Amino acid sequence: MPTQSEQSSIAWIAYALMTVAAWGVYGIFLHSGQAEMKDPLLGRYKAFLFVGIAYFLTAVLAPLALLWMKGADWSFTASGSWWSLVAGVAGAIGAFTVLLAFGAGGKPPVVMTIVFAGAPIVNAVVGLITAPPKGGWGAIAWPFYLGIVLAIAGAALVTIYKPAPAPHAPTAAVRTEPVETRV
């Protein structure tokens, strides 16, 4: 039977993969929500409103329930609260700008490929700026830089060579004139 530390080392991978799955469908679902609003001018804002409702349900009510069930002391540090709020704003801005990208003509496979290839690069660079490596930038091993180049190349290749969707079957003609009935 795995020990607690072995379970934790396995659990983070499972949670990371769950995040990959959730964020992997995020753009497709968000684009579908925007399209299904049937409002070409304001549909993206309507969809974003429901994203906010979903965030409220999952990011406000769920943690409140968990904190209450676990007997939290309800004390929060100012710096922890501030950075968490900044993270939430950054996430919300990202969700909103994804919708703006769709509204400007971007398609989910392309937009989300750019987002998900670019975000790790930004994360790595910001991480290095906020916590510089021992020995400076010159001490970073070449595979790190290669990884950044491959992420950019991978996003470009996936975007450029994505398979075209299957053609839609033609819809049957709908009769619009009144039909005579005989009595």
The predicted pLDDT at position 172 comes to 60
Q: C-alpha distances in angstroms, 105 versus 29, 99, 119, 129? A: 16, 10, 21, 34
One DSSP character per residue, 21-40 reads HHHHHHHHHHHHHHHHTT-T
Q: Give the whole-angstrom CA distance, residue 40 versus residue 103.
A: 8
The predicted pLDDT at position 153 comes to 94
Q: Give the whole-angstrom CA distance, residue 72 versus residue 181.
A: 72
Tell me if 161 sits within 8 A of 152, measured CB to CB.
no
Q: Give the whole-angstrom CA distance, residue 14 versus residue 150.
A: 25
What string of pLDDT tens digits covers the 183 residues of the chain?
555 555 567 888 888 888 889 988 998 899 999 999 999 889 999 999 999 999 999 999 999 999 999 999 999 999 999 999 999 999 999 999 999 998 899 988 889 999 999 999 999 999 999 999 898 888 999 999 999 999 999 999 988 888 888 887 766 655 556 656 665
Q: What's the whole-model pTM score? A: 0.73
The predicted pLDDT at position 47 comes to 92
Q: Give the whole-angstrom CA distance, residue 74 versus residue 39.
A: 42
Residue 114: CB atoms within 10 Å: 17
Q: Which residues contact 88 (CB under 8 A, 6 or more apart)?
A: 59
Q: Report CA torsion sign: 19, 25, 31, 35.
A: negative
